[in-house]
A and B are shown apart, each in its own frame.
Chain A
Amino acid sequence: MLEIKNLHARIEDGAEILKGINLEIKPGEVHAIMGPNGAGKSTLSSVIAGKEEYEVTEGEIIFQGENIIEDAPEDRAHKGVFLSFQYPVEIPGVSVTNFIKAALNETRKANGLAEMPAKEMLALIREKSEQLGIKKDFLSRSLNEGFSGGEKKRNEIFQMMMLNPKLAILDETDSGLDIDALRIVADGVNHFKNEGNAVLLITHYQRLLNYIQPDFVHVLANGKIIKTGDKSLALELEEKGYDWLLN
């Protein structure tokens, strides 16, 4: 599904942050990328999603057999890449419902589908929001405006479930969540997960991995993946920290 080959990226005219990333994710897999602060974790997720502030200087991102390096963020989204943001942006005056309608219909249009009929849309919104325990009045609130940390993350997962992407990248989705919210979010991800899609978890802590079982755990440090293992690696990191790998 996703194949990243020797990826180098930097902030425009700045220092190099990703220094040769190699990563392959197959359908049905859950990968976790862990690493210390400043390792380049969020940069990697932004670069996959197409943030223009970053410049890819070398390497390829192959998504479903196609190099997407030159694609605009919206084109990548239309192809099935989803990024759950660490810091979702507040958009006053635009309701959660209207926003997700716009996002979903733009994606459908780009894929040659007609807009989703209003009735079908409402049913889908109801189904997904119920799974996440999202109340009705929440959907008419302005997007992320005045949302608590937990509400923002839950809203991100709601959008993911609505858009039903091929690859979901969850950037620090566990940060700022209490244990109940974490469980709800994890349930959502597990519900979403199937044989045809894939999940890439970017996280600082092992905590989330108790709820979402990864097939692979990668350690990202100083712009490179320095170790790959199974979920036991996450536990080892929790216990020993990162220093033993860095030295």
Chain B
Amino acid sequence: MAEIAVMALYDQIIDNHGEFLESLRHRFLDEERKTALQNFENLGFPTKKDEEYKYTNVKEITEKNYNFFPKEGHNITRERLDQLHLGEENFDWIVFVNGKLHKELSKVSIENVEFLSFNYALNDEKHKEVFDTYFNTIASKDSAFTNLNLAYCKYGFFLKVPKNVVIEKPIHIFYISQNQEENTFYNTRNLLIVEEGAKVEVIESHHNFDDTYVLTNSVTEIFTYPNAKADWHKLQNDNNTSYLIDSTFARQEKDSLTTVNTFTFGGKLVRNNLDFIHNGSNINSFMNGITIIGKDQLVDHHTAVHHNFPNCESYQNYKGIFDGNAHGVFNGKVFVDKIAQKTNAYQQNNNVLLSEGATIDTKPQLEIFADDVKCSHGCTVGQLNEDALFYLRARGISKKEAQALLLYAFANDAMQNIDIEPLKEKISKLLAEKLQVDLEF
């Protein structure tokens, strides 16, 4: 007999869609949204029987009720934002509060780029064409969460960087939720197109300022063209009543470079799905991750790199530190097509368990159909090196600080290719905070 799961959220999703569509000012995606909802309805939320969710049970998310229509009222001020951004001078930022773009809180100094919106897409032929060409073209069609996002997404960050435009200042996207008395559900959507020879860096962070639960189901599509460079940094440090399901898809054309870094310190349950699709040769893809969690947090990184062309390289370097009863999951897939000769695929996942209760499930998954390739992978699970601890303590550094220094050293490797100094400092600071030490590394 088929198992019938009682899912509060599932029913809400089906029930609320009509009202959601009515709430939209622009209805040009209605058909796609309805189809996506139908797909979601058929797929249902993944269960532990699903191979991809074997170690991550989303039941605690789906058994809750959520408000699909967040209240707009908030009291986020510029001063509050000053505590969040990484520096007035060196960054631009775009601020969404309770699902709505707030221009008065944002700071955009860049020119020569096209910020897009559903609104423009409807009214402006030029933008409509971009939407038709890119929107939802690489996001997975058979994932419940990506379908759900398409059915319900309303706002997000859409940016096209035209040919040879180099954006000097990284753009920080803030998704803030505040003053919500009920659990709230957001479907955020990002689209980044980096044309030939262009360059951009994006930082993305989600902030729940309430004690009520926030579920964010985010989908990001990144397109990088020849000789272009796109860096996307995910700074995941939300509070303990936050759930994040992130699905990011990056398609690269020949001679391009794309980096997606994921730094996870906060959130009750975080699932990151990261897919790289190679659509040309001489591509470089970088994926770095640092995860430091404790208590009963769960963080799951699922990556997939599709090596479809020859002479491409991909580097994955994920570090995890787990305390309390925290649970980490890493699953890294690398597919090498039979024509993808001279592929160089590197994957590393190293973990430190600080407590008896912490667990990690790590699984590299390589499917290689070409014969002239270099693919390496390694995963380790360990404790801190006692000799190293003694070395530091013998210099007068207390046990706790010594542990923190060693953990910093352990994680540091995955920060190597961040070229934004304030971001590095921020991560170091969060690391010290998370390890409860007052140290400058």
User: Which of A's residues lie within 8 Å of B, judged by CB?
Assistant: 46, 49-53, 72-74, 76-78, 82-83, 85, 87-89, 91-94, 98-99, 102-104, 106-107, 110, 142, 159, 163
A114 CB, nearest partner CB in chain B, Å: 15
Q: A50 to chain B: which residues have CB within 8 Å? A: 393-394
For residue A143, which residue of chain B has the nearest CB?
B409
Q: Which of B6-14, B34-42, B241-249, B395-403 is found at the contact surface with chain A?
A: B395-403
Q: A52 to chain B: which residues have CB within 8 Å? A: 386, 390
Known contacts A102-B405, A106-B401; decide if A91 and B388 are in contact (CB<8 Å).
yes
A107 touches B405 (CB 8 A): no
A89 touches B399 (CB 8 A): no
Per-position 1/0 for B234-257, Cβ under 8 A of A? 000000000000000000000000
B397 touches A94 (CB 8 A): no
B418 within 8 A of A: no
Q: A99 to chain B: which residues have CB within 8 Å? A: 395, 405
A78 touches B395 (CB 8 A): no
B81 within 8 A of A: no
With beta carbons under 8 angstroms apart, the residue of A77, A93, A104 that contacts B394 is A77
Known contacts A94-B405, A98-B440; decide if A89 and B387 are in contact (CB<8 Å).
yes
A87 CB, nearest partner CB in chain B, Å: 8
A89 touches B385 (CB 8 A): yes
B441 touches A85 (CB 8 A): no
8 interchain pairs (CB within 8 A)?
A52-B386, A74-B398, A91-B409, A94-B441, A99-B405, A102-B439, A107-B396, A163-B395
B396 touches A106 (CB 8 A): yes
Q: Which 8 A-B pairs have the closest CB atoms?
A: A93-B412, A77-B396, A73-B393, A103-B395, A107-B396, A89-B388, A89-B391, A91-B409
Per-position 1/0 for B138-180, Cβ under 8 A of A? 0000000000000000000000000000000000000000000
User: Which of B's residues lie within 8 Å of A, judged by CB?
Assistant: 385-388, 390-399, 401-402, 405-406, 408-409, 411-413, 415, 439-441
Known contacts A53-B386, A94-B408; decide if A85 and B393 are in contact (CB<8 Å).
no
Interface centre among A82, A92, A107 (most CB of B within 10 A): A92
A93 touches B396 (CB 8 A): no
B401 CB, nearest partner CB in chain A, Å: 7
Known contacts A51-B390, A83-B394; decide if A74 and B409 are in contact (CB<8 Å).
no
CA distance A98 to B393 in the complex (A): 15
B393 touches A93 (CB 8 A): no
Q: B392 to chain A: which residues have CB within 8 Å? A: 89, 91
Interface centre among A73, A85, A110, A142 (most CB of B within 10 A): A73
A74 CB, nearest partner CB in chain B, Å: 5
With beta carbons under 8 angstroms apart, the residue of B397, B398, B399, B409 that contacts A92 is B409
A92 touches B413 (CB 8 A): yes
Q: A46 to chain B: which residues have CB within 8 Å? A: 390
Q: A98 to chain B: which residues have CB within 8 Å? A: 440-441
With beta carbons under 8 angstroms apart, the residue of A73, A78, A106 that contacts B390 is A73
A88 touches B413 (CB 8 A): no
Q: A73 to chain B: which residues have CB within 8 Å? A: 390, 393-394
B310 CB, nearest partner CB in chain A, Å: 33
Q: A163 to chain B: which residues have CB within 8 Å? A: 395-396
A71 CB, nearest partner CB in chain B, Å: 11
CA distance A99 to B401 in the complex (A): 11
A102 touches B406 (CB 8 A): no
A146 CB, nearest partner CB in chain B, Å: 13
Interface centre among B392, B396, B411 (most CB of A within 10 A): B396
CA distance A98 to B404 in the complex (A): 14
With beta carbons under 8 angstroms apart, the residue of A49, A74, A82, A93 that contacts B397 is A74
For residue B406, which residue of chain A has the nearest CB?
A91
Interface centre among A46, A51, A163 (most CB of B within 10 A): A51
Q: B386 to chain A: which residues have CB within 8 Å? A: 52-53
CA distance A49 to B387 in the complex (A): 13
A102 touches B397 (CB 8 A): yes
A173 CB, nearest partner CB in chain B, Å: 14
B395 touches A93 (CB 8 A): no
B399 touches A93 (CB 8 A): no
A8 CB, nearest partner CB in chain B, Å: 20
Known contacts A93-B408, A102-B405; decide if A110 and B441 are in contact (CB<8 Å).
no
A50-B393, A163-B395 given. 19 additional CB < 8 A pairs?
A46-B390, A50-B394, A53-B386, A53-B390, A76-B394, A77-B395, A82-B394, A89-B388, A89-B392, A91-B388, A91-B406, A93-B411, A93-B441, A99-B395, A102-B439, A103-B395, A104-B396, A106-B401, A163-B396
Interface centre among B387, B388, B393, B415 (most CB of A within 10 A): B393
B409 touches A88 (CB 8 A): no
Q: A74 to chain B: which residues have CB within 8 Å? A: 393-394, 396-399, 402
CA distance A37 to B399 in the complex (A): 31
For residue A145, which residue of chain B has the nearest CB?
B409
CA distance A78 to B394 in the complex (A): 9
